């Protein structure tokens, strides 16, 4: 399996009233094709900032980021938009489905931007919705679907163009425990098919569904064991997880 993502000494700073605030501090991360990696940390740890950089929604202040053999530092805004569309499939906590489009039409959206013909995108969208268990819901609108079904539509939309990485941000955060478990089992199935998944989460129980856990705290990454993970939350950080 080849390396598809490499971060070297990534630093991200923000400036507030001339004061520098370091949110990510010399982050190093390598993800290989076919991995399922969780980035685990409490609120305020820097995981959202890291997600934005991985997803090319933001750029680092310093450091090197290579995604699919491309140096992100060298890309302009148009090229960043292109790499987001081609290389990354996004899954968000709040689904981000368009309410006036049915499930099939929501899944078709990325293929419209990719210039795929109507006939081909209809066929592919229907196939991927069947894959996530929604063959009988393709004409339903978001308000006619449960939260778990909406997240399945969002996952179908994220993978329909076969991106290099599936990037999930707290994908079960708006779901009940049973439905969240079903969504995580779907992620495991997609990973078993060879899809590379990076998931951002604060929940140790959700992180356990991945094959590898990377801890983030105070803007620093560390490869974690289960005892390391427990330590993050036992040292006065657990209150952030309910926010």
Give the SS3 label for residue 29.
Answer: strand
* Cβ-proximal residues to 215 (8 Å cutoff; 6+ apart), any chain: 40, 41, 221, 222, 223, 224, 228, 229, 232
Its pTM surpasses 0.95: no
Domain boundaries along the sequence of the chain: 34-59+74-242
DSSP-assigned letters across all residues of 52-67 = HHHTTSS--SEEEEEE
pLDDT value, residue 85: 86
Of 95, 228, 236, residue with least CA distance to 171: 95
What is the C-alpha to C-alpha distance for residues 127 and 208, in angstroms, rounded to an integer?
29
Give the SS3 label for residue 118.
Answer: helix
**Per-residue tens of pLDDT for the chain, all 243 residues:** 689 999 999 999 998 888 889 999 999 999 999 999 999 999 889 999 999 999 999 999 999 999 999 999 888 888 998 888 889 999 999 999 999 999 999 999 999 988 899 999 999 999 999 999 999 999 999 999 999 999 999 999 999 999 999 999 999 999 999 999 999 999 999 999 999 999 999 999 999 999 999 999 999 999 865 444 444 444 433 333 333
pLDDT value, residue 239: 33
Kindly list the distances between the CA atom of residue 97 and the CA atoms of 106, 135, 155, 179, in Å, as whole numbers in the listed order: 7, 18, 11, 18
Of 97, 91, 72, 95, residue with least CA distance to 200: 91
Q: Residue 239, Cβ neighbours under 10 Å: how many? A: 10
Pick the CATH number of 34-59+74-242 from 3.20.20.70, 3.40.190.10, 3.40.50.300, 3.40.30.110: 3.40.50.300
Beta carbons of 221 and 37 less than 8 angstroms apart: no
pLDDT value, residue 2: 87
Give the number of residues written for the chain: 243
């Amino acid at each position: 399996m080849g390396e598809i993502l490499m971060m070297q000494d990534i630093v991200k700073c923000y400036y507030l009233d001339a004061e520098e605030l370091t949110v990510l501090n010399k982050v190093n991360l390598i993800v290989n094709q076919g991995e399922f990696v969780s980035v685990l940390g409490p609120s305020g740890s820097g995981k959202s900032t890291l997600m934005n950089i991985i997803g090319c929604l933001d750029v680092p202040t310093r450091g090197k980021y290579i995604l699919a053999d491309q140096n992100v530092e060298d890309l302009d805004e148009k090229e960043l938009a292109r790499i987001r569309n081609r290389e990354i499939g996004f899954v968000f906590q709040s689904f981000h489905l368009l309410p006036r489009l049915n499930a099939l039409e929501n899944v078709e959206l990325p293929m419209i931007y990719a210039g795929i013909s109507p006939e081909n995108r209809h066929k592919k969208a229907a196939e991927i919705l069947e894959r996530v268990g929604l063959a009988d819901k393709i004409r339903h609108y978001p308000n006619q679907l449960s939260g778990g079904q909406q997240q399945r539509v969002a996952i179908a939309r994220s993978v329909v163009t076969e991106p290099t990485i599936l990037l999930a941000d707290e994908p079960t955060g708006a779901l009940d425990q049973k439905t969240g478990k079903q969504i995580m089992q779907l992620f495991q199935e997609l990973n078993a098919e060879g899809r590379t998944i990076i998931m951002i989460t604060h929940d140790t129980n959700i992180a356990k569904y991945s094959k590898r856990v990377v801890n983030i705290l105070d803007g620093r990454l560390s490869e974690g064991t289960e005892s390391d993970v427990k330590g993050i939350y036992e040292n006065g950080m657990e209150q952030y997880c309910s926010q």
